[in-house]
Chain A
Amino acid sequence: MSKIESGFVKKNLPDKITKIGGVLLAAGLLLGIAGFLADSYRASFAYLVSFLFFLSIVVGSLFLVALEYAAGADWSTPFRRVSEFFAAAIPLLLLFVIPLFFNTTDLFKWTNEAYIKSSEMLQAKSAYLNTPFFMVRVGGIILLWILFYWVITSNSRKQDISKDQKLTKKNITLSVIFIPLFAITITLVAVDWVMSLESKWFSTIFGVYLFSGVTLASLAALTFTSIKLKENGYLHSAIKEDHYYSMGTLLFAFTAFWGYIAFSQYMLIWYGNLPEETFWFMQRWEGGWKYVSILLIVTHFIVPFFALLSYEAKTNIKRLKFISIWILSIHFLDLYWLIMPSMSKNGHAYSFSWIDFVYPLIFVGVLIIVFAKMAQKFNLIPIGDPKLERGLNFHL
């Protein structure tokens, strides 16, 4: 319990939080293993959905940290630690990706030799889509993220003690390098993990589509967590509705951005009407998937758009908290909609299964535990940051 000149008091988060995380993790692991034993094929797809959900939040959070440095934003400085704590789970990606490596033959059609031989297009693609290169790529990307996470956040933590302004300059340089690398790596993630499930399908905007979802999810996680912390008095008392208004505006902007990108992708494919592109949307318009697609449009775009449109919605933090949880769940639905129809095409008749919904428990549990551990070790606010004072005094 130490008070610094800005008025921030460090309090420990209650142990209850770690316990909740532990219970979720244990339940998730147990059910997850049961699901894997029941139907390993389905389980690998369900695991991939949750893995990408986790990846969205942790890598998106690192992007938000970099964005703050690169843009020179003041208002978000008091919240930067929240994103940094989420990003602290990035090294765990190396662990969580291992089960997927064991199931590549179930997940990806391009691992099937006979299937590749049946099409000239797949033969040409196999220079890129082959298991060794895939694993190198995935591993390399995660290592790159870990590197940037490590350098940027350790600079930020060092600043808590040394109050050295040069560290901010260093982080600005690092962020400016990281952002284009993030653009490339997130595109590769979209291509490798989602687009290649349908090995013949291609859409050049797909990386941007995933990016919009990733940013939205990490923003929603940031908004939800910081409101929760603020409500319970763990954040700085100077943080007020003006800050939350800015967060709400960003959520609103990225909701509109997601709608824009999703529609651009759909309209070009619809207009071009080429069979090698349209089949992907046809899959998602067959049978019950039609209703999931409509649900996605309504819940991912129309509802958040109108819910966040007014000034009141963005300053009322109760409502904002609800919307951020909404957006997080809808991002899960989005990933589900992207990935699961590819499974139903492999001879599995489609229906919902409990297996689809057990893996998020693992990842949500891990996120909570990591967050609580980090909050124990480090300040919830970057107390040495030269921008902090301006950030706290932020006015609209």
Chain B
Amino acid sequence: MASGKKLHSITALFKSPDEIINAAKKTTSAGYKKFDVNTPYPVHGMDGAMGLGQSKIGFVTLFFGLTGAAFIFLFMWWSFAASYNIVVGGKPFLAAPAFIPITFETTVLFAAISTVVGMIAVYFKLPDNSHPLHDTEYMKAVSGDKFGLVIEAEDSQFDKVKVSEFLNGLGAYKIEEVYYPEKEEFRMFSPKFLLFLGIVVIATCGTTYVTLNKAMYVTPFDWMDYQDKLVAQEKSNIWANDEGMRPPVEGTVARSDMPYPYMGQTTPTNVLVNPTFPNKEILALGKKKFLTFCSPCHGNLGDGNSRLNGQFPNGPTLHSDKIINYSDGMIYHIMTNGQNAMPSYARQVTRKERWAIVDYIRVLQRAQNAKESDLQAVNKESVSNVQN
């Protein structure tokens, strides 16, 4: 061996797990600190024989696990409850139960990744991922069926001759010296490895691109992307101006749509006549639609006492003389056309429903301004109900 090379360690090979356990015990008791054991599979009891304590990697896991939990919980708190409040499913902004699954996942993610990265970084001494023991006969043997022990030259007791004798005494069948490579090199940055990485990146991206953008659209698997039809806004050469879409004929009306002749007039001279007869069914419909669309402003009883009172332009009472004296058509007109702050409800409420609401408003007006005669009529009705 060339004397200019720096000695890394002396390695010894053994043939059975019992021998290696025994050798590790003796090496420990001889006082060597910087030594390691390589076996083709985990040998039980080796931790004790080598005098190893508990691995400290658990603390890395714990620390990063808690970091992950804290990070994601604060992140969710900040984004949902502090920075920009969004109501999700009617839950509180800081919806802790909903955050817990994500917190759990992130804890596991941080803990797992930090454990792997921490282990690789500490044991491989990144970025130097090569080790003098790599590519030696020793490493080949212990990756197969032999058991190896390495005493490193950095150990304070290290002496080349003594260590060789010591290992011989343990019953090693082969002893070998391992030297550092002549010049230090980071194999991670060697052109060969970088070229390999580059090829992998290009191959992965290329395959993905070709699969998703080309191969998936090969006939007949083109997902019906190309069809002989005109999509909206597309050009067409059938017509001279190349427009694919044709405007509807003048005066076209949408299905089930009825033009309202007095649209846009604030004080119409003429209004429609109520086409409905206020029976039970119509009034039930009117009540339902009134409570949905009118009551938020005009109140459940139409008296203007709504829950939006004070937060919004007040809906007036519907029991004023002015409105009582309005014709049915006029009330219908206000709903259809809108008035003052009230917008048109023609889009939300159909014609029939609007008339039903008119009928229901009439009911409310009569009920809220009941006269003695009304009371008598009700009494008479309930008496006849009882008799029936």
Contacts and interface: CB of A to CB of B under 8 A. Distances in A.
A44 to B, nearest CB: 34
Contacts of A396: 44
B259 interface: no
Contacts of B97: 263, 266-267, 270-271
A336 B182 CA distance: 73
A16 interface: no
Given A311-B54, A311-B58, A395-B44, A271 B98 contact: yes
A395 B43 CA distance: 10
A263 B102 CA distance: 13
A270 B95 CA distance: 10
B45 interface: yes
A273 B90 CA distance: 10
Chain A interface residue bracket vs B: 10 to 19
A309 B101 CA distance: 20
A226 B54 CA distance: 26
B90 A267 contact: no
A157 B234 CA distance: 84
Interface string A305-316: 000011100000
Given A271-B91, A395-B44, 4 more contacts: A267-B100, A267-B101, A271-B89, A395-B45
Contacts of A395: 44-45
A218 B54 CA distance: 30
A311 B61 CA distance: 14
Interface string A258-295: 00000100110011010000000000000000000000
A396 B101 CA distance: 32
Nearest to B98: A271
Interface string B93-122: 000011011000000000000000000000
A267 B44 contact: no
Nearest to B62: A309
Nearest to B47: A396
Contacts of A266: 97
Nearest to A269: B97
11 contacts: A266-B97, A267-B98, A267-B100, A270-B97, A271-B91, A271-B97, A273-B89, A309-B62, A310-B58, A311-B54, A396-B44
B105 to A, nearest CB: 13
A273 B92 CA distance: 13
Nearest to B100: A263
A259 to B, nearest CB: 10
A310 B61 CA distance: 12
Interface string B49-76: 0000010001000100000000000000
Contacts of B58: 310-311
A270 B100 CA distance: 13
Contacts of A309: 62
Best-buried of B62, B90, B97, B101 by chain A (most CB within 10 Å): B97
Contacts of B98: 267, 271
Contacts, number: 21
A175 to B, nearest CB: 27
Nearest to A270: B97
A396 B46 CA distance: 11
Nearest to A266: B97
Contacts of B90: 273
Nearest to B90: A273
A46 to B, nearest CB: 31
Nearest to B46: A395
A310 to B, nearest CB: 8
Contacts of B44: 395-396
**Closest 9 A-B residue pairs measured CB to CB?**
A395-B44, A267-B97, A270-B97, A311-B54, A395-B45, A263-B100, A271-B98, A266-B97, A271-B89
Contacts of B89: 271, 273
Nearest to B48: A395
B306 to A, nearest CB: 27
Contacts of B54: 311
A188 to B, nearest CB: 29
A101 B100 CA distance: 42
B80 to A, nearest CB: 15
B60 to A, nearest CB: 14
A248 to B, nearest CB: 15
A257 to B, nearest CB: 13
Contacts of B62: 309
A309 B90 CA distance: 37
Nearest to B101: A267
Contacts of A310: 58
A270 B101 CA distance: 14
Contacts of B101: 267
Interface string A355-396: 000000000000000000000000000000000000000011
A24 B81 CA distance: 54
Contacts of A311: 54, 58
A267 B45 CA distance: 45
A45 to B, nearest CB: 29
A266 B95 CA distance: 13
A309 B89 CA distance: 36
Nearest to B89: A271
A311 B53 CA distance: 12
A309 B66 CA distance: 13
A381 B309 CA distance: 80
B64 to A, nearest CB: 15
A309 B45 CA distance: 23
A267 B91 CA distance: 12
A81 B215 CA distance: 63
A274 to B, nearest CB: 12
A270 B98 CA distance: 9
A20 B270 CA distance: 100
Contacts of B91: 271
A395 B42 CA distance: 12
A64 to B, nearest CB: 25
A340 B98 CA distance: 28
B207 to A, nearest CB: 38
Contacts of A263: 97, 100
A76 B379 CA distance: 85
Contacts of A271: 89, 91, 97-98
Interface string A89-107: 0000000000000000000
A267 B101 CA distance: 9
Interface in A112-139: none
B4 to A, nearest CB: 46
B148 to A, nearest CB: 21
Nearest to A260: B104
A267 B44 CA distance: 43
B110 to A, nearest CB: 16
Nearest to A310: B58
Contacts of B45: 395
